[in-house]
A and B are shown apart, each in its own frame.
Chain A
Amino acid sequence: MKQLLAFIRKEFYHVFRDKRTLLILFGMPIVQIVLFGYALSSEVKNIGIAVLNNARDVQSEQIISKLHSSSYFKIKELAANYKDIEKRFLQGEIKCALIFPSNFGSDLYKTGGAQVQVIADASDPNTATTLTNYLNAIISHYQQELNPNTTLNYQIIPEMKMLYNEEQNGSLNFIPGVIALIFMIVSTALTSVAVVREKERGTMEILLVSPFKPILVLIAKAIPYLVLSLINFIIILLLSVFFLNIEIRGSLVLIFAESILFIVTCLSLGLMISNVTASQQTAMLVSMMGMMLPTLLLTGFMFPLENMPKVFQWASYLVPSKYYYNITKAVMLKGLGFRYVWKETLILTGMSVGLLFVALKNFKIRL
């Protein structure tokens, strides 16, 4: 036991000596949380719009002033003509345009029906759809104000309720994803590199000839990274609660237990990679390129899984972070209990045991 502690202390020295890597290790989650929380929202606002007002009457001005007061749009200056609109689209300054025909107001009152034209830049399809919907809503609202007594006689009014996220906080979806990503980096990439580095430098041989049990060498290697991962995890939780005002709904004990389970999965993966690779560069390539990309792609927090081809969806069942992501989403954000995540927990446990078994089995006592 005393031996093990001494070994763990040695590993911590190694970790703390490399200040730059450590700085990035703790800086990364902070920067990611701030970016995801404040900068990257899926909502659409302040989008540049060009208005071409050929009518210049009271009605069109009223609609334009409605646009001005909406937070979705930013009218820079009125467009002079059709060519001007085209030019601004080409410069990437605007994403949509609203055109009033010259007889807009008179049409509206004389014939009872006027037309406006909306052009959306569909190179970004989701934004285009959202903007067209907003413009439609603003115009139909104006229309209702014009005709207060003649709304539809019979109508169904949908009342929308945003479950788990009433403030429509856009960063909710990302927090569990960022946590999973950080665990993969710290536990998988760093552990594998740490073991391989000893191999490269030749110090592994010295460790193996010592009376210390080889299995304990691996355990001592893994423990500092488990601790680092947990510290990172706590930092992320604190940041999300105090900076992003995210309410943690589920039980903290369950979240921690599941996180430790996932960290163990990542560590086993890291140890396994270190067994099969001989140089730091290969270990890095395998863990960064081979593990990170599938994590980013197939976990479902950046790209919607349900839109992917079937092959990708099947492959996603092999990615451990997918299960952890689902667990944290359910427990942390929806406040659900163990009953809802036992399946994922079982799969993760199975993966950990399997990976650990393979890693230990392949651990070579002789180099």
Chain B
Amino acid sequence: MLSTNNNLQQKVTFNFQLKKMKTLLFILQKEFRLILRDKTILAMMLVAPTMQLIILPFAANFEVKDVKIAYVDHDHSSYSQQLKNKIASSGYFKIVANPTSFQKGLEMIEFGDVDLVLEIPPGFEKNLVREGSQKVNLSADAINGTRSYIGGSYLISVIADFNSHLDINLKLPSGRSGSPTASISVASTNWYNPRAEYKYYMVPGILVLLLTMIGGFITALNIVKEKEIGTIEQINVTPIKKWQFILGKLIPFWIVGMIVFTIGLIVMYLVYGIFPNGSLPVLYLFAGIYLIALLGFGLLISTFADTQLQAMFIAYFFMMVFMLMSGFFTSVDSMPDWAINISNLTPVTHFIKVVRLIVMKGSGLSDIGIELGYLALFAVILNGFAIWNYKKTS
């Protein structure tokens, strides 16, 4: 008797559970129809990222090459000519002009025609041989930081190399030898990207950014649109629970996001020949959790905004901050401490790091397990906050 009663109760709860699931299924059906119906949004979600992934890496190339030099030679000696040839043949530089005075070289910098001016003073060769050392002036257009620092330091190392191969140094009698008695030679190797190609660094980063844009923007806009049209009121008066509504919004966009991610990986392989060195399941595990966190963020925005314009602006603002702080452009380590803390508080930072590690170095779950914890934490907090802040009564 007692057992049948128990059975009945279990059956009732089971039926109840089933009903809840059914409601969710209906919401999902509605959302999928809406997504598939709006062809422009669908195209924006699937085609736009693919196009951007193909175009952007060509543009986002921070490689420093072809630094333009104006070579002001007041000496016209054989050494100044040798130095010029040495610089021109180093591969990094292009000597685009040989102005007759420093003023004219400076003018070229002012017009933005050259990046560096190297001035060889008169009597360069004579002083070098007589005094043993001679200064040359190197002026860099330092408005463009990276280019001038890296270009300048390349040029300095080219000159240092030129010094050690100067024929007067080589011809010295071994007694007062030019080479130091105790010398340390540095053997340097580049790991993970031996040819130092920028695309390996940028393409995975861009993939993450595109996924972030899609996940963040589209969910935020989607719910606010329901607010604007007024259909959210209709949902609010139904017995649909908060979590059902939110899951109903999350799941379709999660699936779309994973499809975008897969397309991105395929583009990455077909166009750039980059295939993840690490394991694909681990990569997908991270992507899945990251998307949940991100969609939670989009939901959160939508609970704050009333109009699509507002949602767009709020999303744009945060995306901008995320993008700049994530280490996509500049290394997080070089930031001041407060900025490192902010950077660690944005999910994008962790995911970019993880994707670069898995794709380029083949890091495994044991290496980056802690990042998984961070991302999961973000997912829980952002979604929890969104559900808490979503009110059925306005």
Contacts and interface: CB of A to CB of B under 8 A. Distances in A.
A13 B298 CA distance: 30
A44 B364 CA distance: 28
Nearest to A165: B142
Interface centre among B83, B147, B342, B362 (most CB of A within 10 A): B147
Contacts of A95: 331, 333
B143 A164 contact: yes
Interface of B: 44, 48, 56, 58-66, 83, 106, 109-112, 118, 128-129, 132-150, 152-153, 155-157, 159, 162-164, 166, 168-169, 172, 176-194, 196-198, 200-201, 305-306, 308-310, 312-314, 316-317, 320-321, 324-325, 329-331, 333-336, 339, 342-343, 353, 356-357, 360-364, 367-368
Interface string A301-313: 0111011110010
Contact of B313 (A21, A123, A130, A303): A21
23 contacts: A28-B317, A36-B324, A42-B330, A90-B361, A91-B368, A112-B181, A113-B182, A115-B187, A117-B188, A119-B189, A119-B191, A122-B192, A126-B62, A150-B177, A153-B178, A154-B178, A156-B159, A158-B137, A162-B142, A164-B143, A288-B312, A307-B61, A334-B143
Nearest to A117: B187
B53 to A, nearest CB: 13
Contacts of A330: 110, 112
A46 B188 contact: no
Contacts, number: 318
Contact of B150 (A119, A129, A152, A326): A129
B110 A334 contact: yes
Contacts of B356: 92, 123
A90 B364 contact: yes
The 5 closest A-B pairs by CB, nearest first: A122-B190, A165-B142, A39-B339, A162-B142, A125-B196
A45 B172 CA distance: 40
Contacts of B109: 163
Contacts of A155: 132-134, 163, 166
A27 interface: yes
B321 A31 contact: yes
Interface centre among A89, A112, A154 (most CB of B within 10 A): A154
A135 B153 CA distance: 13
Nearest to B137: A159
Contact of B325 (A35, A122, A147, A312): A35
Contact of B182 (A108, A132, A153): A108
Interface centre among A44, A156, A297 (most CB of B within 10 A): A156
A170 interface: yes
A35 B335 CA distance: 10
Contacts of A286: none
Contacts of B118: 158
Contacts of A170: 145
A153 B168 contact: yes
Contacts of B143: 164-165, 172-173, 329, 333-334
B61 A304 contact: yes
B191 A121 contact: yes
A150 B181 contact: yes
Contacts of B142: 162-166, 168, 172
Nearest to B115: A306
Given A48-B333, A157-B133, A308-B61, 11 more contacts: A90-B367, A95-B331, A108-B182, A116-B187, A125-B197, A139-B186, A156-B133, A156-B135, A165-B143, A173-B145, A303-B60
A51 interface: no
A321 to B, nearest CB: 15
Contacts of A312: 58-59
B190 A43 contact: no
A172 B145 contact: yes
Given A43-B149, A122-B196, A307 B65 contact: yes
B339 A32 contact: no
Contacts of B360: 123
A143 interface: yes
Contacts of A135: 186, 188
A328 to B, nearest CB: 11
B152 A160 contact: yes
B367 A91 contact: yes
A109 interface: yes
B196 A128 contact: yes
A147 B360 CA distance: 41
B98 to A, nearest CB: 18
A126 B142 CA distance: 17
A336 interface: yes
Given A156-B134, A160-B156, A41 B186 contact: no
A146 B180 contact: yes
A95 B334 CA distance: 12
A27 B176 CA distance: 66
B193 A122 contact: yes
Nearest to A97: B191
A333 B110 CA distance: 11
A114 B184 CA distance: 5
Contacts of A40: 324, 329-330, 335
A21 B279 CA distance: 44
B337 to A, nearest CB: 9
B163 A152 contact: yes
Contact of A147 (B63, B150, B180, B330): B180
A154 B132 contact: yes
B325 A39 contact: yes
A334 to B, nearest CB: 6
B309 A280 contact: yes
Contacts of B63: 125-126, 307
A118 B145 contact: no
Contacts of B333: 45-48, 74, 95
A142 interface: yes
A39 B336 contact: yes
Contacts of B60: 297, 302-303
Nearest to B147: A304
Given A28-B317, A95-B333, A156 B162 contact: yes
Nearest to A35: B324
Given A42-B146, A120-B191, A132-B188, A24 B313 contact: yes
